[in-house]
């Protein structure tokens, strides 16, 4: 179980997150949604340790992890898919997947992982992770690097951003599988109705605060009728 | 050769074995072992120290090893090796130098290699430089490579200097005729107070000639690197120069690009990027479980791979 207690974060004198209290149960699929600038990405980064909150604490399975580094949280089983995938000169897709799995996988295993995100694996496994890959390809590899890790707690920061409809189909299949197998907690930052519709619970953030948490049936109505959402800034 | 020599030699050219077809091994300024074949002949120069390597026309899959090792502290070894590559020949050449210095005097190797590629010939040239030993004497390597390319010939040059060389000046010159292709990849790592200076000077004289230079370097400690490229397009031609450098600690890198188009159809590009390891790269690898130091090592190893 992951508990966020009184998490607040300010930048440039603007409140990004304001006293967030949230409990996320094991093996559930959560979506965090809300207008641009509402603090969604910051919240995900705080959970992963990429951003340090000004105050508050994070408890994971009764352990206070507030002061644990990113890699210590990764070792606890946290995974994070970046909204904008990072490129590397010299590192290949295969290299990244070996790091993600934490062992010397063979190319066949790497190809199997890539196939899950809809990449014709043989063409990609030896490609360098640089800008010769399209934004959509990099995004799918980013997601592959997270699922390769088999995390206990996966965070996806707007996974639908920058991918085409074809890739989206694979993305939905991955999320449905993650939701179906219940092998860990999944947290997806998303605006996409189809992703929200498979969530066990939807968390609506507004102006750095949790406005509402509920199941998809009640929340979809709230979100769609929310005619003047307020965002913060510098998310 | 003693055990240390053999180990040093292996580090310079991993592919050299007792079964190698053509080679010349040079130790402390003298050739100690040499072998030619029916297609590739190695002849010592009479007027100065060095070799003429003749590759016959139409030679296919030729492989030549010409490693150099220096274990004598205080030695300055200058060698002139000329490669004469016949028409339609296809050859791979492994060169390089390892300096093992256990004493206080400076050891120097200046290797001047000239390549004469005849029409339609193809060369892959792999060069590795390294220094080792606990002595306070410097290990200095100054390779000069001159490449003269006739019509439709092509050459790939992979040059690596990844450890232990205190000072180096690396000069590469190319003169390219019609429909020739030259690809150069250079990887350099400097640490402590080492210095490395690289100069590329390429004349694209022939129509449809092209050159692609990729330089990746890492400057750590208080080391200093300089990358200068001077590319002249005298005809319809293409040049792409990429200089990427990572700096750490007090490392310094200077890139001096010079591209000179003397023909309206010359297309010359120079890209240079110098900076520390991107924070996002470290963060991404840390989300996969590596600590900061491990992430940094993976990034640098990949960058210089």
Q: Chain B residue closest to A72 (CA)?
A: B289
Mean predicted confidence (pLDDT) in A194-204? 92
Give the 3-state secondary structure of residue B180.
coil
Residue A118 has what DSSP assignment?
Answer: T
Provide mean pLDDT across the span B176-193.
97
Q: Is residue B194 part of a domain?
A: no
Q: Say which of A70, A86, A95 has its CB closest to residue B281.
A: A86
Window 61-120 of A: residues touching B by CB (8 A cutoff) are: 69-71, 74-75, 78-80, 82, 86, 88-92, 95-96, 99-100, 102
Residue B159 lies in a domain: yes
Of B244, B281, B283, the CB nearest to A50: B283
> In the prediction, which pLDDT does B45 show?
97
Tell me the torsion sign for CA atoms B275, B279, B285, B286: positive
| B211-270 pLDDT per residue, tens | 999 999 999 999 999 999 999 999 999 999 999 999 999 999 999 999 999 999 999 999
Q: Which residue has the tokens 């000077």?
A: B201
Q: Which residues of B touch A102 (CB under 8 A)?
A: 288-289
- Please, which residues have CB within 8 angstroms of residue B200's CB and are 6 or more apart in sequence? B172, B173, B174, B184, B213, B228, B229, B230, B231, B241
Is pLDDT of B5 > 70?
A: yes
Flag whether B10 is in a domain.
yes
User: Given this model, what pLDDT does residue A234 score?
Assistant: 44
State the average pLDDT over residues B65-92: 97
Arithmetic mean of pLDDT, A95-108: 93
Task: Provide, as residue numbers in chain B, all residues whose Cβ is less than 8 Å from the Cβ of A91.
Answer: 298-299, 302
Residues 6+ apart with CB under 8 A from B64: B22, B23, B40, B42, B53, B55, B91, B92, B93, B94
Contact (CB<8Å) B288/A145: yes
Determine phi and psi for A145, rounding to 5 degrees: -65, -25
Q: Assess contact for A83 and A50: CB atoms under 8 A.
A: no
Q: Does the residue A119 lie in any domain?
A: no
Q: Which band of pLDDT confidence, cut at 50, 70 and 90, is reported for residue A79?
A: very high
pLDDT of residue B296: 95
- Determine the average pLDDT of the residues in A201-223: 89
Is pLDDT above 70 for A228? no
Q: Is residue B230 part of a domain?
A: no
Tens of pLDDT along A18-55? Answer: 999 999 999 999 999 999 889 999 999 999 999 999 99
Mean pLDDT over B158-171 rounds to 94
Cα B152-B158-B164 angle, rounded to 5 deg: 155
Return the CATH number at A16: 3.40.50.300
Which of A80, A86, A99 faces B298 most closely, judged by CB atoms? A99
The answer to whether the Cβ–Cβ distance between B287 and A48 falls below 8 Å is: yes
The minimal CB distance from A71 to the residues B278, B289, B303 is found for B289
The sign of the torsion formed by the CA atoms of A151, A155, A159, A161 equals: negative
* Chain B residues within an 8 Å CB radius of A79: 287
Domain that holds residue B114: 1-165
Residue B303 in domain = no
Residues of A in contact with B298 (CB under 8 A): 91, 95, 99
Distances (CA, A) of B274 to A72, A167, B244, B300: 31, 34, 6, 14
B141 is a domain residue: yes
Q: Is the dihedral of CA B27, B30, B32, B35 positive or negative?
A: positive
User: Is B85 a member of any domain?
Assistant: yes
Q: What is the model's pLDDT at position A118?
A: 82
| Banded pLDDT at A119 (limits 50, 70, 90) | confident
Number of independent structural domains in chain B: 1
Residue of chain B whose Cα is closest to the Cα of A89: B303
CA-only gyration radius of chain A, Å: 18
Test B278 with A86 for CB contact under 8 angstroms.
yes
d(CA A52, CA A42): 9
Average model confidence (pLDDT) across chain B? 96
> What gap in Å lies between CA B89 and CA A216, rounded to an integer?
70
Average pLDDT for A55-83: 96
How many structural domains does chain A have?
1
Q: What is the DSSP string of A201-227?
A: EEEEEETTEEEEEE-HHHHHHHHHT--
- Residue A198: is its pLDDT beyond 50? yes
pLDDT tens-digit map of B7-64: 999 999 989 988 899 999 999 999 999 999 999 999 999 999 999 999 999 999 999 9
- What integer pLDDT is reported at residue A177 of this predicted model? 84
β-bridge mates for residue B124, sequence order: B92, B156
Structural domain boundaries enclosing A183: 2-87+152-224
Which residue of B281, B289, B305 is in closest CB contact with A102?
B289
* Residues B222 and B192: beta-carbon distance below 8 Å: yes
> What is the model's pLDDT at position B166?
96
Query: What is the predicted pLDDT for the residue at A165?
Result: 78
Q: What per-residue confidence (pLDDT) applies to A233? A: 45
Mean pLDDT value across residues A84-99: 94
Shortest distance between the Cα of A228 and any Cα of chain B, in A, equals 34
Computed over every residue of chain A, the mean pLDDT equals 90
Residue A93 lies in a domain: no
Once rounded to an integer, what is the mean pLDDT over residues A60-65? Answer: 96
B29: in domain: yes
């Amino acid at each position: 179980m992951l508990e966020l207690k009184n998490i607040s974060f300010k930048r440039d004198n603007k409140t990004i997150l304001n006293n967030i209290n949230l409990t996320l149960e094991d093996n559930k699929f959560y979506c965090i949604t809300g207008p641009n600038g509402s603090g969604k990405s910051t919240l995900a980064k705080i959970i992963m340790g990429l951003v340090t909150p000004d105050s508050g604490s994070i408890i994971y399975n009764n352990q206070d992890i507030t002061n644990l580094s990113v890699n210590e949280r990764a070792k606890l089983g946290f995974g994070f898919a970046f909204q904008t995938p990072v490129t590397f000169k010299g590192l290949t897709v295969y290299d990244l997947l070996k790091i993600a799995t934490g062992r010397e996988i063979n190319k066949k295993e790497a190809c199997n992982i890539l196939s899950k995100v809809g990449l014709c694996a043989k063409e990609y496994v030896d490609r360098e992770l640089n800008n010769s890959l399209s934004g959509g390809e990099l995004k799918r590899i980013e997601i592959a690097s997270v699922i390769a890790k088999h995390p206990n707690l996966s965070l996806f920061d707007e996974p639908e951003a920058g991918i085409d409809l074809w890739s989206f189909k694979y993305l939905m299949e991955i999320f449905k599988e993650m939701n179906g197998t219940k092998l860990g907690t999944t947290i997806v930052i998303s605006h996409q109705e189809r992703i929200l519709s498979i969530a066990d619970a939807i968390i609506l953030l507004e102006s750095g605060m949790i406005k509402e948490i509920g199941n998809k049936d009640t929340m979809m109505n709230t979100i769609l009728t929310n005619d003047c959402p307020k965002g913060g800034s510098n998310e | 050769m003693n055990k240390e020599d053999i180990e040093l030699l292996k580090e310079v050219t991993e592919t050299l074995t007792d079964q190698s077809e053509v080679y010349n091994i040079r130790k402390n300024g003298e050739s100690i072992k040499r072998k030619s074949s029916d297609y590739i002949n190695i002849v010592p120069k009479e007027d100065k120290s060095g070799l003429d390597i003749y590759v016959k026309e139409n030679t296919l899959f030729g492989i030549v090893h010409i490693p150099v090792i220096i274990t004598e502290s205080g030695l300055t070894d200058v060698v002139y090796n000329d490669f004469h590559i016949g028409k339609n020949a296809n050859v791979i050449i492994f060169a390089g130098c390892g300096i093992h210095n256990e004493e206080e005097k400076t050891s120097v190797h200046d290797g001047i290699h000239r390549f004469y590629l005849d029409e339609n010939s193809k060369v892959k040239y792999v060069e590795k430089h390294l220094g080792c030993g606990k002595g306070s004497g410097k290990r200095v390597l100054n390779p000069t490579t001159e490449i003269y390319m006739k019509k439709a010939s092509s050459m790939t040059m992979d040059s690596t200097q990844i450890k232990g060389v205190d000072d180096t000046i690396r000069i590469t010159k190319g003169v390219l005729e019609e429909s020739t292709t030259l690809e150069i990849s250079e990887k350099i790592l400097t640490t402590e107070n080492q210095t490395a200076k690289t100069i590329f000077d390429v004349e694209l004289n022939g129509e449809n000639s092209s050159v692609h230079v990729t330089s990746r370097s890492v400057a750590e400690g208080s080391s200093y690197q300089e990358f200068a490229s001077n590319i002249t397009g005298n005809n319809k031609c293409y040049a792409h120069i990429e200089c990427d450098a990572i700096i750490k600690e007090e490392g310094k890198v200077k890139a001096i690009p010079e591209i000179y188009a003397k023909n309206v159809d010359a297309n010359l590009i120079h890209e240079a990027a110098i900076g520390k390891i991107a924070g996002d790269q470290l963060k991404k690898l840390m989300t996969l479980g590596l600590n900061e130091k491990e992430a940094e090592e993976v990034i640098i190893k990949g960058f210089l791979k």
